[in-house]
Chains A and B, each alone.
Chain A
Amino acid sequence: MELTVETRAQWPPPDDPAARLPEVPRFDTSAFAPLLVAVGERCLTDRYGTPPLPPDIGPRTALVLAATRGDTVTQTAIDDAVAERRQVPKPLLFQNVPSTALGHLSAVWGLTGPLVATLAIGGPLAAARGTAARLLATGDADQVLAIAADPGDGPGAPGTAWAHLFTTGSLRTPRTADGPVRP
């Protein structure tokens, strides 16, 4: 299927490679969720300005993740707590699930289309694009925010992520020199 890239984003930003990831409430152990949220928000902000999406667009917007691995930092924090016979901090249960970060994005932006979290077999960009194309082909969404991520292995190394807002070309909305225009 031919996809149109409506907008795209990358973390770290090419023009600010040392940028600090914004904090995400309830996700403070690992950079995994902040990485996904940061790159997804940049993409949506570029297109729609501020959240939420218009009520006719949010339900037709799907959310896809293709990551090279899970949140190894959070998993290690849980494993270490168990090995040291410490209490596992309560938020780590949900932080250790990739779909939770996507759920944060969907709640803030009102994205109620399909939500699919995957591990990439091969390159994450191609995997994210492939799943986005499949979801568009089902007819269950008109656009897909597809996040490809190569998460880092430590709190100080968040990794890299890319976000694309894909359509089949039928959702074009006007833009002005001042920025995005809400459709």
Chain B
Amino acid sequence: MARVTGLSVLTAYGRGPDALWKGLTSATPATTPVTRFDTARHRAHDAATVPGTPDLFTELTHLIGEACDQAELTAADRAATPLVLALHAGPDTAALAVEAAGACGLREALTVHTAACAASNTAVAEASHLIATTAERRAVVAGASFVDASMFAAFDSAGILAPGGVCRPFSAGRDGPVLGDGAAAVVLERTGTAPPWAVVRGWGNAAEAHHVCRPHPEGRGPAAAVATALRRAKLTGDRIGYVNAHATATPAFDAGEAAAIVSALAPHGVRTPVSSTKALHGHCLEASGLVELAVCALAFRHGELPVNANHLGPDEDCPLDLVLDPGRAPRSRYALSLNSGFGGVCTALLLAMP
């Protein structure tokens, strides 16, 4: 088990967990027309972005510092702590990781996870495993993804983005995601003095082995990832009180994921509260798992589940108990956070309320 003793986050709602929580409980998407670059030639024109053009290195190191401060790590603690990252794989990303670890006074950069939207979850899994089974007492995990012209154009050309700028996960009439800026850092510790936000109790990772960019209709991959996370946490499906779903409002992927939730938590899957908060903070790609870990931690802390926003009506392919109204309390102290990526990589984190 790994305790989340430091947590910092930046989304289009602003800087810090409080801004994120305020945005989530407003149930109003952070989406606005993109001004960072010209979208006139594109089908979609909206994203959930912070003002200006964030610098990846500056934001990452700032967030890592904030999380370490919150976890009350001394300079000596930091010098003994490794960094695990989740980032898009660019030409110089490994060098950036080494530089970021040095700038934050951390011992070393261990790994940069690059499995698209699943990258943050595989990074948290690596850190959690190290803390649980090796001499490492703690690790810092950080990730970031900021919307840029190339990313937006590639998604738009592929016809994936919601043309109207409204992401409607699991809903009738859904037509794709809205991209979002996101960056976050967490300190994971075996023990620690700071009160934890959450505890990582389990994780699972499975390749769907169906198609490089299409889901298996029965959600074979996410179901296997959930099964592994439950097994690792020594829990059964009835103990899960909330699922923060990957759902990007892509018709086939949402249906596959819904099938996975229903089957992996059977017979309780249809009654387990589910929401995808990508409708609110946008799809943060490599940073998704960390941003959504923060969402789950905030839901635990405030005793309220974030809504599945923009829902127009039920879709028979998504027979889930969606969190459609604010004020609903978690049904138990355990939550699953799911994220899947291109290539069919499917991941689950099982988080416990401290």
Q: Which residues of A contact B (CB under 8 A)?
A: 26, 58-59, 63, 67-72, 75, 78-79, 81-82, 85, 87-90, 92-94, 96-104, 106-107, 109-121, 127, 131, 134, 137-138, 140
A71 adjacent to B89 (CB under 8 Å): yes
A118 to B113, CA, bound (A): 4
A69 adjacent to B94 (CB under 8 Å): yes
Sample of 18 A–B contacts (CB below 8 Å): A67-B114, A68-B94, A71-B89, A88-B150, A88-B154, A90-B157, A93-B157, A97-B115, A98-B89, A103-B208, A106-B343, A107-B212, A112-B206, A115-B115, A119-B94, A121-B109, A131-B126, A140-B205
B206 adjacent to A121 (CB under 8 Å): no
Q: How many inter-chain contacts with C-beta < 8 Å in the A-B complex?
A: 175
B205 adjacent to A114 (CB under 8 Å): yes
A113 to B206, CA, bound (A): 5
Known pairs A103-B211, A117-B343 / 20 extra A-B pairs, C-beta < 8 Å: A69-B90, A70-B88, A70-B89, A70-B93, A88-B153, A90-B159, A97-B114, A99-B341, A102-B343, A103-B208, A104-B212, A104-B343, A112-B207, A114-B205, A115-B345, A116-B126, A116-B205, A117-B119, A137-B133, A140-B228
Which residues from chain A contact B126 at a C-beta distance below 8 Å? 116, 131, 134
The verdict on A103 contacting B129 (CB below 8 Å), with A70-B90, A121-B111 known, is no
Q: Which of A78, A101, A134 contacts B129 (CB 8 A)?
A: A134
B153 adjacent to A82 (CB under 8 Å): yes
Interface status of B80 (Cβ within 8 A of chain A): no
- Distance (Å) between the CB of A24 and the closest chain B CB? 10
Interface status of B183 (Cβ within 8 A of chain A): no
B154 adjacent to A97 (CB under 8 Å): no
B231-248 interface code vs A (CB 8 A; 1 in, 0 out): 000000000000000000
Interface status of B135 (Cβ within 8 A of chain A): no
The verdict on A103 contacting B150 (CB below 8 Å), with A89-B157, A98-B115, A114-B207 known, is no
A18 to B158, CA, bound (A): 35
A82 to B211, CA, bound (A): 28
A118 adjacent to B116 (CB under 8 Å): no
The verdict on A131 contacting B111 (CB below 8 Å), with A94-B342, A103-B345, A119-B93 known, is yes
A93 adjacent to B111 (CB under 8 Å): no
Which residues from chain A contact B207 at a C-beta distance below 8 Å? 63, 102-103, 106, 111-115
Q: Which residues of B contact A (CB under 8 A)?
A: 41, 87-94, 97-98, 108-116, 118-119, 122, 126, 129-130, 133, 149-150, 153-160, 204-213, 220-221, 224, 228, 341-345
B341 adjacent to A93 (CB under 8 Å): no
A75 adjacent to B343 (CB under 8 Å): no
Of listed B90, B126, B154, residue having the most chain A CB within 10 A: B154
Which residues from chain B contact A110 at a C-beta distance below 8 Å? 209
From DSSP, what is the main secondary structure of chain B's interface residues? mixed
Which residues from chain A contact B156 at a C-beta distance below 8 Å? 88
A112 adjacent to B224 (CB under 8 Å): yes
A120 adjacent to B94 (CB under 8 Å): yes
A86 to B158, CA, bound (A): 14
Of listed A79, A81, A99, A127, residue having the most chain B CB within 10 A: A99
A117 adjacent to B115 (CB under 8 Å): yes
A140 to B122, CA, bound (A): 13
Of listed A58, A59, A103, A113, residue having the most chain B CB within 10 A: A103
A92 to B207, CA, bound (A): 21
A58 to B224, CA, bound (A): 13
Residue of A nearest to B92 (CB): A69
The verdict on A121 contacting B341 (CB below 8 Å), with A75-B91, A93-B160 known, is no
B94 adjacent to A116 (CB under 8 Å): no
The verdict on A121 contacting B343 (CB below 8 Å), with A85-B41, A112-B206 known, is no
A121 adjacent to B112 (CB under 8 Å): yes
A90 adjacent to B342 (CB under 8 Å): no
- Distance (Å) between the CB of B77 and the closest chain A CB? 21
Which residues from chain B contact A26 at a C-beta distance below 8 Å? 212
Residue of A nearest to B205 (CB): A114
Which residues from chain A contact B114 at a C-beta distance below 8 Å? 67, 70, 97-99, 117-119
The verdict on A97 contacting B341 (CB below 8 Å), with A111-B209, A119-B93 known, is yes
A5 to B220, CA, bound (A): 30
Which residues from chain A contact B206 at a C-beta distance below 8 Å? 112-115
Q: Which of A75, A81, A103 contacts B153 (CB 8 A)?
A: A81
B210 adjacent to A99 (CB under 8 Å): no
A70 adjacent to B91 (CB under 8 Å): yes
Residue of A nearest to B109 (CB): A121
A119 adjacent to B115 (CB under 8 Å): no
Which residues from chain B contact A121 at a C-beta distance below 8 Å? 94, 97-98, 108-112
A99 adjacent to B116 (CB under 8 Å): yes
A67 to B224, CA, bound (A): 26
